[in-house]
Amino acid sequence: MNLIIGGAYQGKSGYARAHWGLADGDIFTCADSGEIDWSAPCIDAIENLTLRCVREKVDSVELFREHRDSWRGSVLICADISGGVVPIDAQERAWREETGRLCAWLAGEAETVTRLFCGIAGRLK
């Protein structure tokens, strides 16, 4: 698995398309509801999934562990929502923490971890 992180609109999905030769149909984008295509070559917007996990009181790391065999060869993309002022809203703080916890676990599982900043890729692992 390859993990890509970075802020909003930093070029994460474009980098994934170019670097791994992905087409639009290869990229599954997580939403606030609905089923997750764990077997997609690329799973984007994982931060939306962690928000849903917070709302539904589901441990996102456990959810990913349960589906490990399905996404093991995929590219996973998550927006870095950890920067800036800590939110006052408890649910938003929990979302930030859950996303950070999941990304830390995924980074440990990943073959590569790439951070995109201003469209420039920096390999972390």
Give one word for 102, left, alpha or beta, with left for phi > 0 and alpha for psi -120 to 50.
alpha
In this prediction, residue 105 has a pLDDT band, given cuts at 50, 70 and 90, of very high
The top-level CATH class assigned to 2-123 is: alpha beta
How do residues 46-70 score in pLDDT, each as one tens digit? 999 999 999 999 999 999 999 999 9
**How many Cα atoms within 13 Å fall on the side-chain side of residue 17?**
10
Spatial separation of the C-alpha atoms in residues 20 and 34, rounded to whole Å:
26
Query: Does residue 32 surpass a pLDDT of 90?
Result: no
Spatial separation of the C-alpha atoms in residues 36 and 47, rounded to whole Å:
13
> Burial level of 56, CB count in 10 A (0-12/13-18/19+)?
exposed
Average pLDDT over residues 32-43: 93
> Six-digit token pair at 24?
């639009």
The pLDDT assigned to 33 comes to: 83
